[in-house]
Structure 1
Amino acid sequence: MQTPGHAVLNLALLGAGSHSALLLPILAGAVAPDVPIVVLYLREHYLRGLPDERIWSESYQQPFWLNLIHGVHSVPLTLLGVLVSLGAGSSALAAFFASALLHALEDLPVHAQDAHRHFLPLSQYRFISPLSYWDSRYHGRTVALVEAVLVLLAAVWLWPRFPLLGRAALVAVEGWYAFTYWKTFLR
């Protein structure tokens, strides 16, 4: 899934309105698993000048990056984070880890050849889904459209719960989805 979609879906699924004390931990947990991917991309593209194809086929495949990216998408580790946070009485930290857990679960069915090792450290297994949110060889056009519609429905549900700035962010996310769908599948 695309990172902005994780943020919108997780806010809706975890019930965070604009006045919720858990709004920021949920947002942070929704995007945190993708931060290493963003750092890798920015580093390789802007500092090293590598084209996208080399970033994904070479840099992304380096053991350091794969282990980091797969580790932050780990269902057992994020679930452990939720349980430890609840045990410690920290609802904010529990919301962060619950959102990171949802991120991993949302990614699980839509990653084909780029699947994460979602069960680290218990297993090196990668669930190679027959679906992809970006790769047309794995129904990417349809999956991306379904994802965009789900994010739109979540944004509509969140709309009355947010003030103007939050609503502007929701519109920006929907604009992002429209642009990336056009760029990836329609042009």
Structure 2
Amino acid sequence: MRLVLCDDHRLFIESLATVLARRGHEVVVTHSPDQALLIGREIRPDVCVIDLRFPDANGLDAVPLLRARLPSCAIVVLSGSDDVADQSAALTAGAAGFLRKDLAISTIIEAIERAGHGRRLAPLTQPRQPVASAEHLRVRRLVEALTDRERQVLRSLVEAEDTVAIAHTLGVAQSTARTHLQNVLLKLGVHTRLQAVALVADAGLADTL
């Protein structure tokens, strides 16, 4: 399937794109609704996945525009919000489904693929629940073992900050920020920033840091 993923949280959306590409999908990542509209007209995707909120735009406003310009494309809203009103507004605007970012990556991928095959997604009627899987517990223990500084670095990674921004956030030199970053990767048992973000996102912990 051809997919357009639109989200300004770069590490999160690029991690999702990597997993989808490994499953054989053609994936294009964009970071604003305007980009999604332009690229959508070029490649005619089967699914467009879009966040609700951007620094200078509203993803919800783009849903009816995408539906009008790409009538054969399923629009899936993927948001950190658990507000029932947001879900209702997205579905009313024409989205095929509403997904939360605290869902397991495997669940998000399955839902995207279902939408691409023309199947409407079931509404999320239950409030978000903590994931009780063994993997969730394992990753939570790893995160809890991080120092306060290291958790702050991990939070910055989820928010797509680079080393310069992390150093500014911590009020330390870039070399010190890099040391904290390496410690985070080592303690989480991963090798790259993308892997770290994917790990905590898949375990449903990205919004709890």
Shorter chain as denominator, the TM-score bin is 0.3 to 0.5
Which is richer in strand?
2
RCO comparison, higher one (Cα < 8 Å, 6+): 1
State the TM-score, normalizing by the size of structure 1: 0.34
Which is richer in helix?
1
State the TM-score, normalizing by the size of structure 2: 0.31
